[in-house]
Structure 1
Amino acid sequence: MQATPQRQQLFVASCLALLVTSLSFGIRAGILSRLGVEFELNAAQLGTIAATAFWGFPLAVVIGGFVVDIIGMKRLLIVAFLFHLAGIALTIFAGGYWTLFISTLCVGIANGTVEAACNPLVATIYADNKTTKLNHFHLWFPGGIVIGTLLVYFLDKAGIGWQIQVGLMLIPTILYGYLFSKLSFPVTERVASGVSTGEMYKSLFNPLFIFMIILMFGTAITELFTGQWIDVLLKNVSDNAILLLTIETGIMVLGRAFAEPVVHRFSPAGVLLISAILSAAGLYLMGHTTGNMLFVGAIVFGMGVCYFWPTMLGFVSENLPKTGAVGLNLMGGAGMFAVSVYMIFMSGYYDNLLAAKLPAGASLAEYSNAPAGTDMANALGEAKKLAGPEILNATLVIPIILSVAFAGLLIYMRNKNKGNSTVVNVG
């Protein structure tokens, strides 16, 4: 298939759009606990606000997947641009729980719309090298989280407020909106290759696709829940909890940048198996160690999750191409939906853990509002030090299950490919 002559410009603009998506995750992760203090929100409310981005995302990515072939990728990205502008502005002027909820929902819808258009766009303009280029595209997700968390860290040190930190996202937003408005877009790969809409929907019931959707639940939760909550969970275990996220995501940037030799050496299924094993090891270290070993855990965990999201999409695009844009976007939507449900459940579980570790009959709300340095505040700090790693240990079960599942997938794909090569040789 012939690539559009504006391929490189489209790819750069796509990366800028994804940068805004990831900055929203990185900056929100950095300011989440501060929003809780400023607006007097408990962990369950913070979890619901953070989760809103995750269920706004699947809502947009799934709807976008169904309409992208009808309205075109360009119009979809204009919608993303408008929702990003609205979400960022509403966050800056937030006055409490509901304004934060609505603004995060807008950003989540924008983020999902970006992926609904850009994943099939990248797969279309790089049809000859999908998994590698999807990894290169998705390196801007951890890349933006690194930039976002570092911005929060250094601007906090300089005494610059969170509203300005959020406002910085307007710069790449305006840039990507301008670039996309000037470029022409190809039709999606599925349309260009002549696969009918009916054939595309029929292919969604392929057992391998359904299996990959289920595994996407686990890979997304492992990567995104841990990243979004690491500051809350480990703040009382480490003085530099947000830097753990920066290290983890920095490793992800490097891994995705050099994805090509890794993917070609181990195959997508092999990469996913190695990723699951390393993710489990990293989570175990972060949940069972303190001090410098926490940073070792963050490095191992970053090596594990770095290939999950783009390689899952690349696997489906390469092995189930008839699923088209809908297949890619159902994968993304499934992942984000799973994270939103898991985050709401675990934030409530976290509050229950804290309450159980306080003196009998103690009110969690009362302890949360206690002045710093008091016995009540110190008791809450000790409870958090114990509860955070317990959440990580509960999540550890997921990559362990994934390791078994991906081992099965690797064996299945090797047998399938061996059978295909035998048929070719006989012929």
Structure 2
Amino acid sequence: MEGDTHNRRAIFWICVLALFTAALSFSIRTGASGAIKAALLDSAVPLHSGEMIAAALGNSFLGFALSLLVISPLLDIFGAKRVILFASACFIVGPLLILLSPRMDGIDAIYRLLTMGMVVCGFGWGATEASINPVTTALYPDDKTGRLNILHAWWPAGIVVGGLTSILFFEQLHLGWQALVALIAVPGIIFGLWTMTQTFPKTESTALGVPFRDMLAEPFKRPTFWIFPAIMFLTASAELAPGSWVDIALTQSVGMPGILVLVYVSAIMFVMRHFAGALEHRFSDMGLLCVCTIPAAAGLYLLSLASTPFTAIVAATLWAFGVCFMWPTMLAASARRFPRGGPWSIGIVGFAGAMAIYFVLPEIGKIYDKAKLAKAGGQTAFEALQPGPELQQVLGFAAQQSFQVIALVPIALFFIFGAVWLAERRRKG
């Protein structure tokens, strides 16, 4: 409580449920994408259906990044309560637009409404990140790393629930993609109604009495701030981009559904993020991030070599232990060092992470496509391959190459985090 004006526990769990909903939405959209492509695009645009569904999914990341960037500096003007209610509305309206898209006349109108639904879901995700991170740092100013990691433990929890629900709906209950997409709205309605009952705190910059203009100017007055968005771009490239790619790559190279590996990794991350506070006190935030890059790099490299479900699980375990703390600890690190930047500085760092996914994921795909053609001996040779061991070998090689390239990112981060860690230790000493 703060002067009995707000219920800290209730508000924190509203933030948890909002992030869980964002993760569930992401996981379900990904899980339903194949069925949506088959139902709406394959017959109408068979030559471009894969590209079109990928672009629709990618546009949700763009919606996420843009809403995060726009809302963050205006959070205290709008009020965190209104922003979280906006996120709730997006998780209701976005799925509704996707569900209504088949009713439109013509493939252009269908695809336009489908894409709009994906973008609105992305707006909800961005509004969630723009509000819950500054609210949590305001609620727990002395335990930012621990509380942000506990909060963001519910992102992988949402991935687990969404992934398992996708498998249950399609393979066991034999329900259509519409039922799965409609499920997104349920927690969206719940956290929206709960939000209406609460009074939310002001962010740290407002509590410190920082004027709006000074908050906007803070990142530009302190050039060292821009190290953190740059690092966040790389950390998101090591965590979320491979997470979006693992289903495609491992399904082909290991012979098991990649979504199961993603669910397993997410379960590890959910558990481990609850221990971030204690580890941060032992190593410091930069020390913790530096240590984490070692298993992250090893895991990504070993994923490139995995050829059986067992080796994939071992590699994925290392990768999960490496990346589990990265996103929330980066947010906490920037919030601790630049409190006068408030939600604006946190939003810029989150925006950098979102844009990393938007830009890096297609590049991984290009590496994959280039490698498969090289292994096959050219485009003509690749197109001549029939389903079987030879094609599987070519696709497995392409998956290996894509993971090996991305494994270089945490290696670079080891030296960056290490340099910042040592510089700050010397300054304190």
TM-score by length of 1: 0.90
- Structure 1, gaps ≥5 residues long: 368-373, 419-427
Match of 2:69 among 43, 62, 73: 62
Q: Distance in 2 between matches of 1:18 and 1:409?
A: 30
Deviation at 1:242, TM superposition (A): 1.1
Whether 1:126 and 2:126 are equivalent positions in the alignment is no
Alignment size in residue pairs:
411
- Structure 2, gaps ≥5 residues long: 43-47, 103-109
Q: Percent identity?
A: 30
After superposition, where does 1:106-255 map in structure 2 within 5 Å?
A: 106-158=120-172, 159-205=174-220, 206-238=222-254, 239-255=256-272
Match of 2:325 among 274, 283, 307: 307
Match of 1:411 among 414, 419, 422: 422
Structure 2 counterpart of 1:267, one-letter code: S
Deviation at 1:271, TM superposition (A): 0.9
Q: Distance in 2 between matches of 1:297 and 1:113?
A: 34
Could you list the per-position Cα deviations for residues 1-59 of structure 1 after superposition, in whole angstroms to 9, with x for gaps in the alignment? 94754111111111111111101222233334444444335554443233212211110
Deviation at 1:200, TM superposition (A): 2.1
Q: Distance in 2 between matches of 1:341 and 1:313?
A: 20
Q: Distance in 1 between matches of 2:375 and 2:10?
A: 54
After superposition, where does 1:8-407 map in structure 2 within 5 Å?
A: 8-38=9-39, 39-40=41-42, 41=48, 43-95=50-102, 97-158=111-172, 159-205=174-220, 206-238=222-254, 239-291=256-308, 292-358=310-376, 360-362=378-380, 375-376=386-387, 380-407=391-418
Q: Distance in 2 between matches of 1:64 and 1:14?
A: 16
Partner residue, 2:45: none
Q: Distance in 2 between matches of 1:49 and 1:346?
A: 18
Structure 1 contact 44–351 (Cα < 8 Å) conserved:
no
Structure 2 counterpart of 1:215, one-letter code: I
Partner residue, 1:422: none
Q: Distance in 2 between matches of 1:79 and 1:17?
A: 11
Structure 1 contact 33–232 (Cα < 8 Å) conserved:
no
CA RMSD of aligned residues (A): 2.2
Could you list the per-position Cα deviations for residues 297-334 of structure 1 after superposition, in whole angstroms to 9, with x for gaps in the alignment? 11111111110011001111112211111001111111
2:253 aligned counterpart, secondary structure: coil
Structure 2 contact 153–269 (Cα < 8 Å) conserved:
yes
Structure 1 contact 51–344 (Cα < 8 Å) conserved:
no
Structure 1 contact 43–348 (Cα < 8 Å) conserved:
no
Structure 2 contact 64–122 (Cα < 8 Å) conserved:
yes
Structure 1 counterpart of 2:224, one-letter code: L
Moved more, 184-193 or 94-103: 94-103
Q: Distance in 1 between matches of 2:114 and 2:403?
A: 26
Deviation at 1:358, TM superposition (A): 4.5
Structure 1 contact 47–347 (Cα < 8 Å) conserved:
no
Structure 1 contact 84–107 (Cα < 8 Å) conserved:
yes
Structure 2 contact 136–144 (Cα < 8 Å) conserved:
yes
Partner residue, 1:425: none
Deviation at 1:378, TM superposition (A): 6.5
